[in-house]
Structures are given as C-alpha cells and as structure tokens.
C-alpha cells in the first residue's frame, strides 16, 4: 500500500499512549505498513491539568477531549484516540467517530492490598475513587463503607493505595490489562454486580468528517460488534443527557444475533437506583438506547437529574 503518513493525537498518560500504540499497531498490520508511518502526538488536556478538584466540578468528561479535538480540527493531527467512556455524546461540528478496535474487558476491578472484595471490607473502610458512578454503586450495596476521592492516572492511584490513602480502589480491568498490570487486580466485579460506565473498555477513533482517506484507512480496523454495542450505550447516555455529575451505567452485548442492553441511573449517595434492560436486533441499537433511557427517566421522575445538576 502507498505510504499514508498519519499523526495520531492522544493524551500523554501511560494508558492513553498504550491505546494509541495499539491503534498504530493494528493500522500497520492491517495495511502492511511499518509502524513508523504513524506518529503518536501526546497532547495535554484540561482534565490532565486539573488536579485540585473533582472533574465533575470543573466541567465534566469533555475536559479529556477538548484540546485533542482542537488539534484535530486545526489539522495538527489526523486522528484522535480516546478512551470511549471519556467522550461527550455530542461531538464538535466537523468531527466524527469512525472506528472502534475490539473492546477490552468491560468489568471494574477491585484492588486492595489487604482485602479480597468489596463484600469483605469492614465497616468504615475507605474506597478511593474519582468516579461518581462507582461511588453511587458502592454505597448502594455497601452503605457501611466510606468513599473518598482518588485522582490521577492508573499508576498514581495504585501508588496512593499502597501509601494507605484508601483501603481499596476500583479501576477498569481494561486499563490494567492494556498496561500489563493484570496481576494487580484483586478480584474483577461482574456486570451483574456492578454495571460499568458507558463504553468502558472501548477505544474510540475520531477524525475530521471530510477526511475520507483516513476514514477508509480506519475501516480496516473497525470492530463492528464493538461499534454496535457502544452506539447503543451512547444513544442511551445522550438521551439521559449524562455528564460527570450524573451516575449512569450501561452495557450492551451481542449474543446469538441479538443485542442486549442494560442501563442504570443512580443518585450519588446510592439511595436511589433505577435499572432496566432491552433486547432486540442489532440494527435497532440506537432506538433501543433511546427507548431504555426514556423508560429510566420515566421511572425516576422529572426532578431526578435536575436535583443532581
């Protein structure tokens, strides 16, 4: 194939760089090209710079994509690699998500140097997390525990845990696997116990909408099953108007040609939770997501989200 030199923009964290390298390797293998045809360009985002307060107070998940998308729109990079769960449901004009590599493990990981699981933590034990979704789900099932903030990249959070900042923490299995840290997982938490964040474990590749050449290049590494499942989850999230201030969980899976979608909304203290499911053909992924969101909103009532913002 003719040389296609492309610049891949990403955050500069170890996990983001590992994801960008995965995309680079998949592109090189799919098109029989050397990896040197794809340059990785680390970009510092607002979410990386803000360390003095929870992101929910600073503007939400778009803080991890804003500067990268600006670089994409300006032509400084040709494609952007994101953790799909960090992406707002509304993209800037002129940008599209065009590919998803195969999804990693969707589960949350319980990590503790002294305890085997959430169920074995003693009364008053602290669980460190910066995720409102995890906080709400923990308190929903384990009201006797305390949740404390724990910011930073994966390695930073693990160091804080070892230093005694908390008795346990929860991280995504996907990130630990991609960093070669699978051995740090004390026990994975199945989706039947704790629904993951929308798009957890998925990598989203964003490009300029008019860039047909890059879209064609990425078509070779798009994993259709992942794309369908994440589309259903993001459709649900968009209808719920979810933000970092809203504890929302969702997971879609494909089995025997049928799409299964589960969704959950909670109050941050875990006191209220509404859960529902949908099943249907994959081609109705977007409708299923929107329909499930409408049911959850109907169950929760019109003031549910208003009280959280």
Q: In what order do the strands lie in the sheet with 95-99?
A: 38-42, 6-10, 79-83, 203-208, 95-99
DSSP 21-68: HHHHHHHHHHTT--GGGEEEEE---HHHH--SS-GGGTT-GGGGTHHH
Whether 230 has a pLDDT exceeding 70, the answer reads: yes
Judge residue 199's burial from the number of C-beta atoms within 10 Å of its C-beta, 0-12 exposed, 13-18 middle, 19 or more buried. buried
For residue 92, the Cα-to-chain-centroid distance in whole angstroms is 19
Greater confidence (242 vs 152) lies with 152
Averaged pLDDT, 227-236: 98
What band does 308 get if pLDDT is binned at 50, 70 and 90?
A: low
Averaged pLDDT, 214-240: 97
What band does 309 get if pLDDT is binned at 50, 70 and 90?
A: low
Alpha helices in 117-172 (DSSP H): 132-141, 154-162
Catalytic sites, residue numbers: 86
Q: What's the rounded Cα separation, in Å, for the pair 138 and 125?
A: 12
What band does 1 get if pLDDT is binned at 50, 70 and 90?
A: very low
pLDDT, residue 237, reads: 95
- Any idea which residue has 């908390």 for tokens? 166
Residue count of the chain: 309
Closest CA to 295 of 276, 273, 271: 276
- Any idea which residue has 């804080």 for tokens? 160
What band does 147 get if pLDDT is binned at 50, 70 and 90?
A: very high
Q: What's the rounded Cα separation, in Å, for the pair 138 and 6?
A: 42
What band does 236 get if pLDDT is binned at 50, 70 and 90?
A: very high
- Any idea which residue has 């970009």 for tokens? 43
Question: Which region among 24-38, 56-70, 84-98, 266-280 has the lowest average model confidence (pLDDT)?
Answer: 56-70
Whether 53 has a pLDDT exceeding 80, the answer reads: no
Residues 62-90 pLDDT 10s: 778 999 999 999 999 999 999 999 999 99
Whether 307 has a pLDDT exceeding 70, the answer reads: no
Residues 157-183 pLDDT 10s: 999 999 999 999 999 999 999 999 999
Domains belonging to the chain, first-starting first, are 6-101+202-222 (3.40.190.10), 108-189 (3.40.190.10), 240-306 (3.30.160.40)
Using DSSP's 3-state secondary structure scheme, residue 293 falls into helix
Question: Which region among 48-52, 53-57, 120-124, 234-238 has the lowest average model confidence (pLDDT)?
Answer: 53-57
What band does 48 get if pLDDT is binned at 50, 70 and 90?
A: low
Q: Can you read off the two tokens belonging to residue 151?
A: 């910011």
pLDDT, residue 151, reads: 82
Judge residue 210's burial from the number of C-beta atoms within 10 Å of its C-beta, 0-12 exposed, 13-18 middle, 19 or more buried. exposed
pTM of the full structure? 0.91
Q: What's the rounded Cα separation, in Å, for the pair 268 and 106?
A: 22
pLDDT, residue 63, reads: 77
Whether 50 has a pLDDT exceeding 90, the answer reads: no
User: Dihedral sign, CA of 139, 145, 151, 153?
Assistant: negative
Averaged pLDDT, 191-220: 97
Q: How far apart are the first and last CA of the chain?
A: 51
CA distances to 274, 283, 307 from 270, rounded to whole Å, are 10, 34, 14
């Amino acid at each position: 194939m003719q040389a296609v030199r492309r610049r891949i923009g990403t955050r500069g964290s170890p996990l983001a760089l590992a994801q960008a390298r995965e995309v680079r390797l998949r592109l090189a293998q799919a098109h029989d090209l050397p990896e040197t045809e794809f340059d990785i360009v680390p970009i510092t985002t607002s979410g990386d710079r803000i360390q003095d307060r929870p992101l929910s107070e600073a503007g939400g998940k778009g803080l991890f994509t804003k500067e990268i998308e600006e670089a994409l729109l300006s032509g400084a990079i040709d494609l952007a690699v994101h953790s799909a769960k960090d992406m707002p449901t509304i993209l800037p004009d002129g940008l599209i998500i065009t590919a998803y590599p195969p999804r990693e493990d969707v589960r949350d990981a319980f990590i503790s140097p002294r305890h085997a699981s959430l169920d074995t933590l003693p009364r008053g034990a602290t669980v460190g997390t910066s995720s409102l979704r995890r906080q709400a789900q923990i308190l929903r099932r384990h009201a006797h525990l305390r949740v404390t903030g724990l910011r930073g990249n994966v390695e930073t959070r693990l160091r804080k845990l070892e230093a005694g900042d908390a008795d346990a923490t929860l991280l995504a299995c996907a990130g630990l696997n991609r960093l070669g840290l699978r051995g740090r997982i004390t026990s994975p938490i199945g989706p039947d116990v704790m629904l993951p964040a929308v798009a957890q474990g998925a990598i989203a590749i964003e490009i300029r909408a008019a860039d047909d050449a890059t879209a064609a290049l990425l078509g070779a590494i798009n994993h259709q099953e992942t794309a369908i499942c994440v589309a259903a989850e993001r459709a649900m999230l968009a209808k719920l108007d979810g933000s970092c201030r809203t504890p929302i969980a969702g997971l879609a899976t494909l089995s025997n040609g049928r799409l299964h979608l589960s969704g959950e909304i909670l109050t941050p203290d875990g006191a209220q939770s509404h859960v529902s499911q949908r099943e249907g053909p994959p081609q109705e992924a977007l409708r299923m997501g929107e329909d499930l969101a409408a049911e959850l909103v109907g169950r929760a009532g019109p003031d549910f989200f208003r009280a959280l913002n």
